[in-house]
Amino acid sequence: MRRGTVVGAAAMSCALLLAGCGGQDDDTKSGTRGHRPVSMADKGEGAPSQPVPRGKGSKVDDDFNGDGARDLVLDDLVHRGHGDDAGIGIVYGGRNGLTPGARQLLSAHANGARIKGELPAAFESEASCDLNKDGFTDLLVSTDPPYDGQGRPPVPLQILFGSPRGLTGKAVQLKVPEQARFGNDWPDQPVCGDFDGDGANDLVLHASGARLSFLRGPFTKRGAPRAAGAPVTAPGNNLVTGKATDVDGDGYDDVLVRKAAGATGAAAGALVLGGPKGPGETGVLFPAGKDTAFGRFGKGRGMDAAIASPSGVALRYDVPGTLRGSLEAKNAMDTAVDAGDLDGDGLSELVISGAGSGSGGGAGEVRVFRGRTSGLAANATAVVVPSAKGTTQVLKVADFDGDKRADLVLRTYRGDSADTVGVYPGIEGELVARKPQLTFSTEEFSSRSDG
């Protein structure tokens, strides 16, 4: 997805192979706290199933039980013998990071809302934020409500509200007022953010005809927004999923939209800026790409962008600044980009994963580029080799253990019935740990009825 060579970046350290390399590889010197291979099921060899910790509410992202620790959402659970849709897994966090024993399995049967008397067959996570301002993160789920193909389709999105016990009970259907809809496309692809700067999370949805539905928060427990106006005109009609970002630093979250992808999978993008009335003004156009990550890769005035384009990872510093370089990569359209402050210095690192993540690297490698005051350093990189063989993706770059440094969560697939999730802590001075602090498999969600 992102490829390129940083223009004007001075070389720093040589690439550090984080697994299978010589030199300092013990836990003390590499900054890890020891690898803890954990089975989520109570089989005697690992952590037994634990109750979800009770919280009182917090402002931490993805904190469904409000205990102040970030939680992890897992889709596409491996499902040996459990049908095509094994549900959504939630691993809850604790004082020292993720606690695989404290988990919940969410499913359409147990947690889906009936629409016209029918339970949904599909049940996949889409976005998460605190929609009703109660201190507990809520989860937006995509479903498949009954539709005969005539006229305007129903809303496929449902909300599972967080609580002191996490995500429990039945979901409710998201209410999209008629005046906020446009055309006959499905109202989907939700993005959370405070687009109007009032302190409450809002939602932006795909409408149709290059328009967006803007729903003002907070939302009621019945799934209704505080207000909703006419659809917003935008230069593209396919939203990039994920949480919105205040790219220009004006106190209003902004949202990235994309036009329909071409044969290469790349699509032109544009940033729609938030404001007192919500998203409306187009702030900057981006070159065609398949993935985009925002972060503070240098100490400029605003956020920076990395775009996975067909020719490499294009870099744009101080958005809406001009293009300032690229990172070299093979098979650029097969890569993904993420950003997070792994070493705790206040600047973001760029994480590139996928088949083209690095020159000469294996398909499972993940390459991390260090943020510097002058921008990303081309040669100050770390290469993470996952602890398991297979196809690897980055699940999350975020702080799970509360040390003010982001952690790298990787998932490696070995077919529909086997996978490994590894948590690699961020480390001051070294970017990221050589070995995972914690590993587990999503297969254990299907081993027993959790939650």
Locate 69 and state its tokens.
């620790």
DSSP state of 306: E
Name the helix (H) or strand (E) containing 29. Answer: helix 27-30
Mean pLDDT of 90-94: 96
Using CA atoms, how far apart are residues 230 and 276, in angstroms rounded to an integer? 15
Using CA atoms, how far apart are residues 31 and 286, in angstroms rounded to an integer? 38
Let me know the angle formed at the C-alpha of 146 by 140 and 149, rounded to the nearest 5 degrees.
Answer: 115
Locate 389 and state its tokens.
């063989």
Q: What are the distances in angstroms from CA 199 to CA 147, 166, 350?
A: 36, 23, 29
Mean pLDDT of 416-443: 91
CB contact set of 235 (below 8 Å; sequence gap of 6+): 210, 257, 259, 270, 272, 282, 285
For residue 353, give the nearest of 389, 394, 306, 315 by alpha carbon: 394
Using CA atoms, how far apart are residues 87 and 320, in angstroms rounded to an integer? 40
Mean pLDDT of 250-267: 83
Q: Are 428 and 407 in contact (CB under 8 A)?
A: no
Q: What is the pLDDT of residues 161-170, one digit of tens each?
A: 999 999 999 9
pTM of the model: 0.86
Mean pLDDT of 70-89: 82
Q: Which SS3 state, helix, strand or coil, does residue 397 take?
A: strand
Q: What is the pLDDT of residues 99-153, one digit of tens each?
A: 999 999 999 999 999 999 999 989 999 999 999 999 999 999 999 999 998 889 9
With 90 as the cut, is the pLDDT of residue 426 above it? yes
With 60 as the cut, is the pLDDT of residue 329 above it? no
With 50 as the cut, is the pLDDT of residue 24 above it? no
HSE (CB half, 13 Å, CA atoms) of 53? 22
Q: Are 129 and 114 in contact (CB under 8 A)?
A: no
Lowest mean pLDDT across 333-347, 358-372, 409-423: 358-372
Using CA atoms, how far apart are residues 152 and 184, in angstroms rounded to an integer? 5
* Pairing of β 36-37 and β 438-440: parallel
Mean pLDDT of 184-204: 96
Q: In the beta sheet, which residues pair with residue 73?
A: 90
Say what percent of the chain tops pLDDT 90: 55
Confidence of residue 424 (pLDDT cuts 50, 70, 90): very high
Confidence of residue 328 (pLDDT cuts 50, 70, 90): low
Using CA atoms, how far apart are residues 162 and 65, in angstroms rounded to an integer? 6
